[in-house]
Amino acid sequence: MTELICPTCRAQWRSVATCARCGTDLLPLMRLAARAHALREEACAALLDPSRAAQALNAAQAAHRLHQTPRSSALLALAIVAAAGV
């Protein structure tokens, strides 16, 4: 997983809701990352069924918009190919 950083001071995220360096509330960031993870899981599950390719693409796009990671990029590419029926 791509490392998350504090958007205020760029300190490495240490799995806590408040940045240890600057005190920024990181809970909204954590929620976005968790939602993106759930959407990636949904996309992966949908990719296993060719009839759900459009759902996989929608979930992969939503995940990539929320949190761009190397995995979200690869998953989005795979979902695009699956939706195109290639």
Q: Which residues contact Zn ion (rule: CB under 5 A)?
A: 6, 8-9, 11, 19, 21-22, 24
- Closest to Zn ion by CB, 21 or 65: 21
Amino acid of residue 63: A
| Least gap, CB of 58 to Zn ion (angstroms) | 33
- Closest to Zn ion by CB, 11 or 44: 11
What single-letter DSSP state applies at residue 30? H
What single-letter DSSP state applies at residue 17? S
| Least gap, CB of 10 to Zn ion (angstroms) | 7
User: Under a CB-based contact definition with an 8 Å cutoff, are residues 72 and 63 in contact?
Assistant: yes
What single-letter DSSP state applies at residue 23? -
